[in-house]
Every structure is written in structure tokens, then in C-alpha cells.
Structure 1
């Protein structure tokens, strides 16, 4: 026998050395680690919709009889339904395995090794992750203290050769949107602008209508948040029609399962039910925000999404997160530039908020001391 081979030296060097993206754990893992039942967990760390999907989704999935067959490779029926929902043409719509796949496809289209992309942290960590995957140089343009964009600095980065910029609106984890006139200014540059609208239904604002007018704008969206389909991975993007044609040639086929397709169609047929839940979440967001304002050691930031970012004043945010976890309450904490000592609380049902508030009141300012 010859010597044992080691294929690691064949891996692309930048991938072998890059850091991974760390998402939150699933509820079964959390329950196992804490030694409690899944139903006793208040999971407010992933911005999931605690009201769940439309009841019509379970009906559609249970009544579907063709799971043994491949889905429509052109996604025709679901693209037409989504196009009608967002007010675009079906030729502009490409579906994917969550909006993350569409964000990745955008990077694949525009970033070659050594190219430069701009980013506006603090924001969704997947953008930097994708820049690393495609071996791009990343210009990090920190947001202002209020989490607004540093527009002059971003424009300089684009003028200096950045080919691409991801922007979340509402931004994750700060929850703020950015105005249309700022997007117009960014689109005036010779760069691809990808707007991530994962939380758009909670803000009531969208830039989809601008895609037809600008050939350098892509808008990515998802059914994970507003429609409660996070576990089925159902996302899409609205492309300029010419770009969409290229995407069909380069993306992997069958990237939307028949289960996700059926769930999307059922969701869009039950928008009234889902919109009622959106209204409940928005109302609960405002109630939770006002109650958090009453805790002197927390500084909550106004949000247009389904979560609230809080600066923790005094205690260590990680200690707060750990203490909540001991009580079966999962939130996310941050301790990075622009997000020093912060926690993010997803907005759930009123009883979820009450458990969080009671736990936080019980901690007071003595956490970590």
C-alpha cells in the first residue's frame, strides 16, 4: 500500500483558513443542553415567528402526493405567485433555499478572488462570511452611532472600486431601515447593491419597485420571518431581468423543494391570517420596547423588525444571556465593534415577553457583579 493521502492540501487556501459563520442552536439542542422540555423553552434568539405558519401549510403538505418527483426546474407556479405578491414580473423572480442562497448567488455573480466588496457593520454576519467564501477584500464601513449608514464613507468605498454592497433594511441586529434617497445615491455608483429585506413585512417598506428602474439593484426576501417558514428554507430575490437570465444558467437546479413550494403557495393564499399575526408582532414589539425602556440598566433601540436590540449598561451582556438561558429563555448577545455589550431579543407572543421581562427585572443591575 502507498502512503496515506491527505487531501487537505488540495483545499483552496483561503477556505481552509477562513472562520465559519456561527448560527444559533436549534430548539432540540438547547432543550437537551438545559435538561428541559422543548415546550418550556422561550426561544427568542433567531427572530423566528412564534405564531408559526398558516394552518393551510400543514394541509397543503399533508395533501401533496408527489414528493417522489423532482420539482418544476423553472419554478413557474411559485414564481408567478411571488411576483404577484411583490408587484414584480415573474421573469425577475428566482426562488432559493432561503434568502441566504440568493445572497450567495449574488456574490458568486460579482465577486472574483481579489475583488473588493463594501459592508456596513454592525449588520448580518453572512455578508462578511460570503466575502470570505469568494476570497474578496472587504471594506468595512462602520455605521453611525444611531446605526444609520455612513453614506459619504460608503460612497467613497464604491468610488474606490468596491464592486458590491449588501445592505439590510431593516438592519439586523439594529432594526432600523434606511431611506430611499440614500439608496438612490448608492445606485448612482458603478457597483451592485443587494438589499436584504428579510424583515420588510414588519416595517411596511420595500425597494422592490426600484429594481426595474436600476440594473444594479437586487432585492432578497424570505418567507422565514413573516410567514413562519424558517425551517422549510423558502426565499427569493427580485433581479433585473437580464441578471435573472444569467442566474438560471449558473445556479444549481432544483434548489427549491416541493415542500417549500407548496408551503409558499399556501402561505400566499392565506395572507390575511399571516398579516393579522404581523400586526400582533408589531404591537407586541412596541409593548416590549416600552417595558424595556423602564429598566434603567438597558437601553433598547427603536426597531422596525421583529426584534429589539438592547445595550446592557453595567452588567456583562454575556452574563445576562447566560442567566436568561438558565431560565429557559434564549436571546442573542453581541460584543463586537459597534455592538459592545448588547443583547437582541426576538419579539414573540405576549407571554414570551412577560417571561423575559420578569427574568430581567429579577436580575436588576447586579448581573455579573
Structure 2
């Protein structure tokens, strides 16, 4: 079993709108990436990919009703692009605001002529933190628009399926394509939980072998990451449920059958996550118990040592008072003082008695089982 990941809690700082800001304000972050736009066109017999510089006249490029289109947009730093969505495609400004404000929870909303959805794409970063990226969807009858903050993603498997033309992905419409992308994102959560499960096992092995303070810190950071994942999976499950219950014509009954499977995956993820949270909490409690028991063992040893030396110290203290029976200067006898002070071999006798007391105590403690 390898070493567990050194977890670092990555905190992403979002720019929140000022109180009183007009609803529907499209915010362009200065640090966002320049858009890379790919236009995928496909049907039963054909598949094409075109890289676009911008979205001007996108309605004309996606006008063929016998073909389905996927407009894959990665990077959001373009006010002109959102103007096209607002003016040419008549997308509501509240939707555009939700796309550019990339801190929203997963959700599904119906609008006239299109559907809007949000998912959260998660990845484990190189430093062990959790990258949390928003992926937005605008679904029309024959076009699916997706928006991502970064260039990297986990959706290449869907692109390959489109290229290969296997299964229903080319013939089942934009609703099925949106499901396939969402399902790919949900499936990536299983990979994350699998990695964290291995880390939990490594931490538990370390806990049983030779626990130190790093066990508690690593477990606590992993637990925090599990809580962050829970905040994604819970609304993701609700979103799938909303899609199942929608009456939108853009989501076919066939697609809803597959959405049920994605919904089941969300339930399974919730069960796995709760189990791992419980294991993480148990590991922390076990670590504290082990440390407490170790402290008790140390205190037990110190108590035994103290118990052995207390009577010896008492004897040494008594004979260290030097109250002689006879004054060595005047020769006067002082009744009640220590007659043993000038006893022959008194030193040896005292050491023998002290050793005997110590041996008797050790035998007594051993029979009581204190040395086990």
C-alpha cells in the first residue's frame, strides 16, 4: 500500500456580485481564458469537427435540421460571445449570468425553446487538492452548447464515442448527448472516491502500524474533501430527478431511461461517500483512542515507579534527619532520638530493607498484572 496523498484544501475564490447589482449582469473575469470553440456536427452517417474563431452567424452554421450539433466552448473571456447568445440566440440574461458566475450548484431549468443545466466537474490536482469546475449546458432541439472554465476536462471519452459512431449517441439527439456528458462527469466522481478509498486504507494501515500526528491531519483533510464532494453530489442527484420529471419535449422518454441510470449512480455515490466519511471519522477517533491509551500506559509505568520509590524515599527521609541518640560533643543522652544512627552496619541493613521492600512491591504488582 502506497503513501496516502498529502491533501491540501484548495480554496477557489469567486467574485460575488455587489449587493443591488442588476440581475442578468454578465460578468467577465479578467483571469478567465480566451474561448476555444469546437463545432461538432454529426448524424447517423457523418461526423465533422470544425474549430471556430467566434460564434458569429452560429445559427446559420447549425441550421441543418437533419444534423445534430455540439458547440464545445472552453474559456469564458469574451463579452462578444455572450452578446451573440443574448441577441442572436435569444438566451435569457439570467442564464448567461449563471454561466459566467461559476460558483453555482448543479441544477436544471426549463425555458421556452431550450433547457439550461449546470454540472460540477471535479479533478484531483497534483498537490492532492480538489479542482472544482463549473460546466454549463444550453440544449436546443438540434444544438447543445457547453461552457467550461478551463481547457482540460474529462469528456474525451464522449468525443471518441461521437467520432466512432457507436451506440445511440449520434442518433438520439441533443438530450442524449447532454446526458452522456453529465454521466461522464458523474462517473469521474467514482474515480475520485476510489482514489480516496485507497488513501483511507493507507492511512488505516499507518494508524495500526505506527500512528503519528500526520494520520489525524491527513484524515481530516480527506474528510473535508469528502464534504466538498457531498455538496456536489447531493444537488447533482436532485438535478437528475428534475430532468426525469420534466415535461420538456427536448428530453425524450428514451433519454429519461438513461437518466434513471445516472440517478442511480448518484445514489450509489452518496452511499459510498457517507461510508467513507464514517470511516474517516472512525480513524480520527481511533487515533485519539490510541494516543489516549499510550498516555495511559506511560502514566501506568510512572505510577509503578513512583509506588516503588515512595516507601524507599520515606525510609531515606527518616534516616536523613540525623537526630542522634547521644550528643557527640557533650556525650549527653537524648531520649526519644534515633538509636540506630550509630548502629554498626546500619547502612547495609537499611539498603537491604529498602531492596526487600522494592522486591516485595514488584512481586505484588506483577501478580496483579500491572506489567502486562
| Structure with the higher helix share, 1 or 2 | 2
* TM bin (shorter chain): under 0.3
Relative contact order, higher structure (CA 8 A, sep 6+): 1
Could you tell me the TM-score, scaled by structure 1's length? 0.24
Could you tell me the TM-score, scaled by structure 2's length? 0.24
